[in-house]
Amino acid sequence: MKTSYYSLLILSFIFTLPGCVEQAQENSAEQKPMVHEQGNAPMQLELPDNLAGVLRQEMQLLEKGMGELLGHIVAGRSGDAAAVALKIEKSFVLKQALTQEELKQLVGLLPAEFITMDRKFHSDAGALAAAAEKGEFRTAMKLYTTMAESCLACHSQYAAQRFPKLAH
């Protein structure tokens, strides 16, 4: 039971299944969040080394994927654009890199708003994949812009030390 529940989470990079996330957060309620809550002020997401490493790896792949995706959209490469967007939607790293215990730990440490932003980002990637598959490149580009804005928004809010010039 637990195993299938966590593999569901893993498959979706945690964040596309709202009910499960809430449940997982309750499950790990005993864990103390390691972020410094400051209302909406920019903050640095602080994770233990193992999880921070996985997040950074994920981010580097995202950066690379977004570059490729832009190239495919502007060249009208439907299949390639959809394939990269789907990879982003499902996410690259976490499903291979995290043990169940680490995943539980991660969900317990992430602020709810971070999860919301991440979930939106991944669902936009799914919508982009669908648009690209249909050859709707203008829609795909609008979604691409929305996704890029999510990068900036999340970094401004949650990576105040990593990207100090974004924190204001």
Residues that bind ligand HEC (CB under 6 A): 45, 52, 55-56, 59-60, 62-63, 66, 114, 117-118, 121, 147, 150-151, 154-155, 158-159, 162
Residue with tokens 């790896």: 57
- Shortest CB 4 distance to ligand HEC, Å: 26
- What SS3 state is found at 77? coil
Distance CA 31, CA 103 (A): 13
Cβ-based nearer residue to ligand HEC, 60 or 99: 60
* Closest CB 8 distance from ligand HEC, rounded Å: 20
> Among residues 123 and 150, whose Cβ is nearest to ligand HEC?
150
Closer residue to ligand HEC, CB minimum distance, 25 or 150: 150
Q: Is the dihedral of CA 85, 89, 92, 96 positive or negative?
A: negative
Beta-bridge partner residues of 38: 40
Nearest approach, Cβ of 60 to ligand HEC (angstroms)?
5
Q: Pick the closer one to ligand HEC by CB: 2 or 168.
A: 168
One-letter amino acid at 16 equals T
Nearer of residues 20 and 153 to ligand HEC, judged by Cβ:
153
Give the nearest distance from C-beta 122 to ligand HEC in angstroms: 9
Q: Can you tell me the distance from the alpha carbon of 89 to that of 100, in angstroms, rounded to the nearest whole number? A: 20
CB of 1 to ligand HEC, least distance (A): 29
* SS3 call for 105: helix
Contact indicator for 162, 140 with CB cutoff of 8 Å: no
Structure-block tokens of residue 118: 């991440």
